[in-house]
Structure 1
Amino acid sequence: MAARAAYRRLMRARELVFRNDLLMLAESRRELRRYFLENRNVSDPEKLKQLMQDVDEAEEMLRHQIVQGERKGDGEYAMNIDPTRHVTMDPNKLPGQK
Structure 2
Amino acid sequence: MATRFLSPAEIQSNAFAARATYRHLVRAINLSFRGDRVVYPAAIQQAREGFIQNRKLESGSIEATQAIEHAQGVAQILRENVVQGASTGDDKYKLRFTKYTQRMDNAKTKELKGTTKSFKEIKSAQF
Query: Same fold, TM exceeding 0.5?
Result: yes
SS in 1 for 2:94: strand
Matched, 1:25 2:40: yes
Equivalence map 1:1-98=2 (5 Å): 1=15, 2-43=17-58, 45-82=61-98, 84-90=99-105
RMSD (CA atoms):
1.8
Shift of 1:31: 0.6
Q: What is the number of residues matched between the two proteins?
A: 92
Indicate the percent of aligned positions where both proteins have the same amino acid: 30
Shift of 1:69: 1.1
Structure index of larger Rg: 2
Instruction: Give the Cα separation in 2 of the matches to 1:41 and 1:6.
Output: 16
Q: Which runs of 5+ in 1 are unaligned?
A: none
Between structures 1 and 2, the one with greater helix share: 2
Q: Is the 8 A contact 2:32 2:79 kept in 1?
A: yes
**Counterpart AA for 1:6:** T
Task: Give deviations 1:46-78, integer Å, cap 9, x for gaps.
Answer: 111111110111111011000111121143222
**Counterpart AA for 1:67:** V
Q: Which runs of 5+ in 2 are unaligned?
A: 1-14, 109-125
TM-score, normalising length: structure 2:
0.64
Shift of 1:3: 1.6
